[in-house]
Every structure is written in structure tokens, then in C-alpha cells.
Chains A and B, each alone.
Chain A
Amino acid sequence: MIKLNDIVVKFGDFTALHDINVHVKEGEFFTFLGPSGCGKTTTLRTITGFISPSSGTVLMKDRDITRVPIEKRNIGIVFQSYALFPTMTVYDNIAFGLKLKKLGKTEIDQKVREIARKVDLSDEQLDKAVSQLSGGQQQRVAIARALVTSPSVICLDEPLSNLDAKLRVQLRNELKKMQREFGITSIYVTHDQEEALTLSDRIAVFNKGYIEQIGTPNEIYNQSATEFVCNFIGDINRLGDDIVARLNEQGAGLDPAWHHYIRLERLHVNKKADGEHFVFDAVVENSEYYGLYIKYTVKAFGQTLKVIEKNDGRTPYVEGETVSVSFSASNIMSYEPKEEGGDA
């Protein structure tokens, strides 16, 4: 559907994107994930046409659109701020693009009302000013405006970032539902890993203008391709030299020069892990009770480790208590350290 081939974007001497290659499939919910300044929005703006790449091509349905003007690309955009026109009613906001396509009044009216129904906006809301709507309703207007012109792709640039946590979760679910209903190819930009994991079919993780990994949420989380991805996605423990030495004594065979990580939920307190596993003693330093699970901070071999244990009804371990910590060897993720510096 959308293909980015060797895209390079430069701003003066600064290279914002290095040889980006992405293939977004038809009907897919594809997410660009990464920290601020990593190049995800630049990539999105290259697809939408706001930025011209220094080299490389953008293909849509195998047609080169690299130099096609923004308005001719047939891409809908939902902006971070929604960018709803404050001096127009909801109706006029949605109808704006249709009027520019010089459609007849009846056709515009029909299309506006149809898309409004689909995104659950009432006729009464159509006559309101956008400032009179709630955050969720405004998001639906922005989506309706982006979809009403029947684009081939919809791009969403951090549309949930300005909302509070509760509304963000609620709208995230609505967004996913709408995308499924419309079946439209969607490219989503976010720095929020939880959002990316819950919404996406596939994710591209960006770092310093490079793509570190492209994969399904499960691949990204459990088989992080790089140390950056492993650190960026979810919470994780890096195993210190003493623990690595101790594990090697147990026959782990870990290269001491490499960095070794294990996710919090892969560690178990006073429970046996599956398969080939390692065990060592640790002292509970702190426990946080979350209801669904308990988060422990334990100390072993001079290193603090975080552990998440499912709440199975047992009384939580208390500070100072000695526990055994176990985990499967297969859950350790190891990475060869990279040289720092280079062209970021």
C-alpha cells in the first residue's frame, strides 16, 4: 500500500532520517513508535507530503508519489491538536474538503451526515462550534473530516497525546474499533509504547532517525531486535556483572562483555520458572500492591531487581524477607554493546 524506499531527509547539515524502508500493507494499522526527535513525525510528514525527502521514494499502491502535491496524495490526516477550524461549525469542518472538491450541496450534505453517523456524531452536534464539544467528540470530528474525502490512507499524528490518561484509554479503544469498521490503512505516530502495543498490527521503532525494528507488538516486546528497543519497550532489568557471573556458575553461558536483560514479569518470587531455569536468593526491599499484581523490589548480589508477580491471593512478602527468585534461561535477552557516537 505505502512503501518508503531508502528515504533520507536532511535539514541543512542535520540528517533527520537515514535510509528509511517501510512497507505498510493494505488495511493495516501501522505505528511509528519512538522517543521525541527520533524521526517518526518526519517520516509521517514525508508520506503526507509536507516534507520532501532528500533522496528515496514514496510509493502508494506502487505509484511514485514522492513529488505529488499534498492535496493530490489522497491521504487523510488527523493532527496532534486535531487542527479543527475554530471559526467553523462541526458540519463546515467536515464539509471543508468536499467543498474544495467542488461537489454539489446535496452530495456534500449526504456525505457529511453519513460519516458523522459512522463516527457517532449527532445532527445536533454537527451544528455546534468545535469548542462546544468534548475532547472525544473533537477527535471524532477530526477523524470524520479526514475520512469524508475517502482517502486511501489515514495518518494519525499523536492524536491522543493532549488528553488525560482515562480519556486516552477510552479513545484508544474507539479508535481501534473505528479503524476496524472502516478497514482503512492507518499510519499512527506515538511515543507511547502502551498505545502502540495495544493498537497496532505492526510497529516500527525509531531511534535517532533510524528504524531499529519492524514487527508485531509481540515480536517487538518479546524479541526486541536491539538493546534500544528492549529498553524503550516496557520496563526491564539489566543484569549486573555479579549476577551474570553467578548465572554463568550455574551454566548459563552468558558472554560477560554483552548486556543481558530480563523483563519484570519473567522473574518469579518463591515460584519455579518453566523449563531450564536459574534460582538465587534475594531480600525484599519494597513491595507495591496494585491489586491485579504486586511489584517487588528485591536485592541480590548487590543489585536491585524489579519483579512483577501476579496476585494469586497469597499474602505479599514484606520488606526484609528473604525470597528465592527464579527465571527461565530462554527469557534472557542479550545484546552486544554498540559503540557510542557516530552519525545520529
Chain B
Amino acid sequence: MLNEKRFDATFVFRLIGIVFFAYLFFGFMLVPCWNTLTSIFKEKTASGEADPFAVIRFFLAGNMKRFVWNSLRLAVVLVITVNIVGISIVLLTEYFDIKGAKILRLGYMTTMIYSGVALVTGYMFLYANDGILTPLLTNAFPGISSTWFTGYGAVVFTMTFACTSNHMLFLRNAIRGIDYNTVEAARNMGANPFKVLWKVVMPTLIPTLFSLTVMTFITGLCAMSSPTLLGYDSINPEIVRLAGSSSADESFPQARAALLSIILAIFTIVLLTVLTAYERKGHYLSVSKTKAKLQKQKITNPVANVIAHIYAYVLFIIYMTPVVMIIIFSFQSYSAIRMKKLDLSNWTLINYFGKQDYEYMTARGTYKTREGAISGVFSNEQTFGGIKTSFILAAAAAALACIIVVVACNYISKHKKSGSILEYALLFPWLLPTILICYSYRVYFNSDTIWYVGNTNLYYADNVRLLIIMAYVVTKLPFSLRMIKASFYTIDSELEDAAKNLGSSPLRTFLKVKLPIILPSVLAVFALNFNALFTEYDMSATFASTYGTSYAMVIQAMTADEGLYGYNVNASGRRCASTVFIMIVSGLILWLVYGVGARDLSERLEAKKKRREFFARLFGRKN
């Protein structure tokens, strides 16, 4: 009887699971993207005849190739520059003995809480034509034009420093995992520190560096916010532009956008295949049974030591200047920001809270007052609306992605064959550039004839928010799966047996035994997903809907909205305050997850004990 009940419940759960994941895979991954692929070949000639290769001919003949070449050029250059800076900052903080390494590390890690549009606009705030540092730079280096921070050079400069977060995460871990005994052995045999670095340390980092190189290449290829804001013709901004264009303005814009998306997808698939093949070859594994912790290496040559210190602090200044300036200017008045001059006597919170009237002179020379024209982030409907929208969409999607992946991983960890099918299905979006998925959604679901979504146009009005959430979820599935699956495999299979033996049902075992073990990893994935989605720009820009105006889009809008005659007068100040808010939220979430959430039970019990003792002492004194 009991067995029959179990069988029924398991069967029903499995059936629901199969239907759900099939719906997700076919409905929101395969079919929309397939539609994009086939749309390339559905163009017709002026006479109405089918011309499947019209777009491809257009691509080969016209200037569309320029976008692809530009993206490739950006990707190749970024691989070089990002690796140089990324490897430098990791070596300077983890391998060489540099004074103030802890402070330097904090500076280099700012990109983890400050990225995307916020970072690009931050750099623009400093270096653009009217940037606060531009006069300083042009005075110091007369050869530099005040408009230097536009186009290709500006994109390379910005992305070089924006894309080193992965180096700080992965390369840092790899270098910390090096067995110091191997370094000592090489030194003992007469190798100098640089020889040791080149011959002993670097070879062990090659697998990590290879992965980072591929990831950087893909990032460069799919760059969106920097090229859009700094003006560089690359693939992604062009796709977004074409997606919003109509055939009345230019030749088959939709099919061209689709073709560019597919080209990106092909590049991504090739690169990921190369990466996977390389990873399969195996890595350099430490064979040491008693691994020694890496000790920092002193640079014995005094000249080299001074140069290394100068280099480290120059990089630190580049990383920290936008952050510091944005924090400072977020507390400055509208006039100080407009004049690009720090006014130490006048600090304000108006960029954060409250409203002020703005008095201005009209063209006729008369004065007019616009009520509440100066407003803070949390008092400005549009800005705060963007924050709310992004917060809700990002939180919902990050949570949903985690829930789906946790359920999937629980199944995958128990069923090898059918589990691997599910795993590949959830990893599928990894092969597709984000922009392809979003573009496909925008085109495919902009119809009220899609039966499996109830014949509802999901690209209409408020529905677009649901579409954005789905895009967020789908694009975050592969990353979430890789991370959470790894944590599932750390669960001792005997725990499940023990719980079963004590009478626990599968659901209870999952909730009470397995979930608490993987929860820190799940929360970490949630936090990383949330942080990325909260400030994401590419996807919401592709959807380009007023119903899904994200925080990043609001920030972008504020770069252009510096209005005359009292319109949006403190946009720059509000943008600075917004960026500070992003940094606080991202930092807080990372701290909660990695600082508080990562504590194991013994650490939590210890903290609880200390709290109790503290309150006991407190009340003891009072008494």
C-alpha cells in the first residue's frame, strides 16, 4: 500500500517535471531561436518571390561585415589588454610582496560591485568631453584631445578595466592553490623569482588563463553597454538598432538582426567547443599530499620593486578614481557637478532624497522657477521606478533560476541517463549569446498566435516584464546549473541513506538535509545572478519597452538628459547617487552571501554564543 502511494507520488512528480522542463526547453529556448534562424531565409524580393539568400548577399556585399570585424577586433585586443591587466593585478596582490596589497586588492575588486552601464557612465563622468578629469588631462598632456574618450579607444580602455572581475575570482583562486613547496624547490635549485614565476607558477595557471581568455573573447564579441554609450559600431548595438528599425527605413532590418545574432552564436559555439575540448584534456594537478600555503615573493631587485609598486598604484588609481569621484560628487550640488568643480563647503543629499525647485533664465532674459525640478534618486519617479522594476525583475528571475536549477540538480544527481539529458537542455542557452535569446523573444512572442503561452502577446504592454523575467531566467540557467550542480556533488550520499533509514520522506530529506547543505551555494548563485541582472543593460535594451525600463536604462538615459530650462537638471548627480546605491546593494548582497551566509553551523553557533554573552554582560551591568 505504502509502496503504491510512493509510486504514484513519484510518477506524478516526474511527469510534472518532464512536462515543465520540456515546456521550458522547447517553448523558451529552442523554438524562438529556431524561428530567428529560419527568419534569415524567409525574405522576399520586391516582386514577392522567395529569396532565401537575400540577407546573406546583403551581408557579403554591404557594410554589415564592418560590425563583425569591429567586434572581432575589439575581442582580440581585449584578450590582450584584459589578460595583461588581470594577470598583473592578481600577481601584484597574491604573488609578489607589494606594500598595501590588501588596499590594492579592494581597489581592484571594485568591478565586482560596479560594472556595466554604471561603470561606463562613471568613466564618462570622468573622461568624456565634459568629464571632470578631462581638463586636468588635457592640461597635463597637451597632445590629448578633449574628445579622446569616444569610439574604439575609449571602449578598449573602459572594458580593459571593467572585465578583470573574472581574473580576480578565478585566477586568484588558482594562484592561491599553488603548492608553495614547488616554488621553494625551484628557488632551492637556483631559480630567481621571475624564473620561478615563468617556469613553475605560470604553467600551472595556463588552464585557468585559457578559460579566462575564451570568456574575455566572448565578452568582447558580445560587448553592448560600452560600444553603445561610447559610440563604437559593433554587433550587439547594431542588432538592437535593427530590431527597433522597420523595413520602411532600410532593407530587411529584422532578418539582418537575426543574421548578426546567429553569427554571434556561431562564434560562441566554436569558442565554447574549443574550451570544452581543452578542459577535457585535463589540468595540471598538484600531486602534493602536504600542500604548503603560497608565501609572497619579495622582488629583490630594487629597481624592479619600485617599478612594480608604481605600476600597482597607477592601476589602483585608475580603478578607484571613478568610484571615489562618483561617491564624492553624489553628495555635491547641481551647480558643483555642472561646473565640474568640487565644492567642499556645500554638501547635499538632494541627489538621493527630496526635491528642490530650480530657477533658470529664459531666452527672453526673465527668470522662471520649475517646481521640484531637482530631485533625488528616491524622489524621482522615473529613476526610482527603474530601480523598482529592476529590483523586482532581477529578484524574481534570480530566485526562479535557482529554484529551477535546484530541482533539476536534485534529479540529475540521482538519475544518470535522463539526468544528463536534462542537464544538456539547461546548458543549451550557454551556446547562445544573450542578445540572440532576447532578440528571438522580442520577435517570436510579439504575436498573439503562440498557443503555448495562451495566444497572448508577451511583447505587449505589461506582459513584456514576464518576457524579460523569462529571458533573465533562461540566460542564467547554465551558470546556475554549473555552480549548484557542483555543490550537489559535495553531498555525501550516505546522508540521504541515513535520513531514509530514520524514516524521512524524499521531500523531507531534500528540505531538511540536502537543501541546508547546498543553501550557501544557492544563495551565492542567487546573489551573483541578482547583482548581474539588477544592473544589466543588454537584455532590457534589446526589449526596449517602456514597460520594462530597467535601472541601467534609466542610468543611460541620465547621461543624455542633462536638460536646459529646468528639465532633469541634476541628472548627473542622480546618476552618481544611483551608482553609489548600486554599489551599496551589490556590496551588501555579496557580504551577506559570502560573509554571513557562508558561515557553517559551528561558526553560526559560535556567533550566537558570543551574542548571548554580550547581552548577558549588558544586562548584568544594567542590573
* A interface residues with partner B (beta carbon < 8 Å): 48, 50, 67, 69-72, 75-77, 79-81, 83, 85-89, 96-97, 100-101, 127-132, 145, 149
Measured CA separation A88–B601 after assembly (Å) = 7
Measured CA separation A77–B605 after assembly (Å) = 28
Measured CA separation A79–B502 after assembly (Å) = 12
Q: Does B143 reach chain A (CB closer than 8 Å)?
A: no
Contact A87–B501 (Cβ < 8 Å) = no
Q: List 21 A-B contacts (CB under 8 A).
A: A48-B501, A50-B497, A69-B2, A70-B501, A71-B500, A71-B504, A80-B494, A85-B495, A85-B512, A86-B517, A87-B601, A96-B499, A96-B502, A96-B504, A96-B512, A100-B502, A100-B508, A129-B600, A131-B602, A132-B602, A145-B502
Q: Which of B494, B516, B605 contacts A83 (CB 8 A)?
A: B494
| Chain A hits for B247, CB < 8 A | none
Measured CA separation A85–B498 after assembly (Å) = 9
- Given A79-B494, A81-B492, A81-B494, A97 and B601 contact (CB-CB distance below 8 Å): no
Measured CA separation A96–B513 after assembly (Å) = 10
Smallest Cβ-Cβ distance to B491: which chain A residue: A86
| Chain A hits for B282, CB < 8 A | none
| Chain A hits for B498, CB < 8 A | 77, 79, 83, 85, 145
Q: Which of A70, A85, A89, A130 contacts B500 (CB 8 A)?
A: A70
Contact B503–A97 (Cβ < 8 Å) = yes
Measured CA separation A128–B601 after assembly (Å) = 9
Closest 7 CB pairs of A and B: A87-B516, A97-B502, A71-B503, A129-B601, A83-B498, A83-B494, A129-B602
Q: Which of A71, A76, A83, A131 contacts B495 (CB 8 A)?
A: A83
Measured CA separation A127–B601 after assembly (Å) = 11
| Chain B hits for A80, CB < 8 A | 494
| Chain A hits for B3, CB < 8 A | 67, 69
B297–chain A nearest beta-carbon distance, Å? 34
| Chain B hits for A101, CB < 8 A | 503
Contact A85–B513 (Cβ < 8 Å) = yes
Contact A100–B503 (Cβ < 8 Å) = yes
Those of B444-497 within 8 Å (CB) of chain A = 492, 494-495, 497
Measured CA separation A71–B500 after assembly (Å) = 6
| Chain A hits for B497, CB < 8 A | 50, 77, 79, 83
Which secondary structure dominates where chain B touches chain A? helix
Contact A77–B601 (Cβ < 8 Å) = no
Contact A149–B605 (Cβ < 8 Å) = no
Interface mask (B253-279 → A, CB under 8 Å = 1, otherwise 0): 000000000000000000000000000
Contact B605–A129 (Cβ < 8 Å) = yes
| Chain A hits for B601, CB < 8 A | 86-89, 129-131
Measured CA separation A101–B501 after assembly (Å) = 12
Measured CA separation A257–B72 after assembly (Å) = 79
B422–chain A nearest beta-carbon distance, Å? 23
Contact A75–B605 (Cβ < 8 Å) = no
B598–chain A nearest beta-carbon distance, Å? 13
Q: Which of B502, B503, B605 contacts A128 (CB 8 A)?
A: B605
A20–chain B nearest beta-carbon distance, Å? 21
| Chain B hits for A83, CB < 8 A | 492, 494-495, 497-498
Smallest Cβ-Cβ distance to B604: which chain A residue: A129
A132–chain B nearest beta-carbon distance, Å? 5
| Chain B hits for A149, CB < 8 A | 502
Measured CA separation A170–B243 after assembly (Å) = 74
A94–chain B nearest beta-carbon distance, Å? 10
Measured CA separation A128–B605 after assembly (Å) = 7
Q: Which of B2, B492, B600 contacts A131 (CB 8 A)?
A: B600
Contact A77–B513 (Cβ < 8 Å) = no
| Chain A hits for B501, CB < 8 A | 48, 70-71, 75-77
| Chain B hits for A100, CB < 8 A | 502-504, 508
A122–chain B nearest beta-carbon distance, Å? 15
| Chain A hits for B2, CB < 8 A | 69, 72
Measured CA separation A97–B498 after assembly (Å) = 10
A295–chain B nearest beta-carbon distance, Å? 29
Those of B562-608 within 8 Å (CB) of chain A = 600-602, 605
A142–chain B nearest beta-carbon distance, Å? 9
B600–chain A nearest beta-carbon distance, Å? 6
Those of B413-448 within 8 Å (CB) of chain A = none
4 further interface pairs, Cβ-Cβ under 8 Å (given A83-B494, A83-B497): A71-B504, A75-B501, A77-B501, A145-B502
B488–chain A nearest beta-carbon distance, Å? 14
Measured CA separation A155–B500 after assembly (Å) = 15
Measured CA separation A69–B3 after assembly (Å) = 8
Contact B602–A128 (Cβ < 8 Å) = yes
A92–chain B nearest beta-carbon distance, Å? 9
| Chain B hits for A71, CB < 8 A | 500-504
Measured CA separation A71–B508 after assembly (Å) = 13
B603–chain A nearest beta-carbon distance, Å? 8
Smallest Cβ-Cβ distance to B497: which chain A residue: A50
Of B494, B501, B516, B519, most buried by chain A (CB within 10 Å of CB) is: B501
Of B494, B503, B512, B605, most buried by chain A (CB within 10 Å of CB) is: B503
| Chain A hits for B516, CB < 8 A | 85, 87-88
B599–chain A nearest beta-carbon distance, Å? 11
Smallest Cβ-Cβ distance to B501: which chain A residue: A77
Smallest Cβ-Cβ distance to A130: which chain B residue: B601
Of B498, B504, B516, B602, most buried by chain A (CB within 10 Å of CB) is: B498
| Chain A hits for B499, CB < 8 A | 85, 96
Measured CA separation A48–B600 after assembly (Å) = 31
A227–chain B nearest beta-carbon distance, Å? 34
Measured CA separation A96–B504 after assembly (Å) = 9
B340–chain A nearest beta-carbon distance, Å? 54
Measured CA separation A83–B497 after assembly (Å) = 8
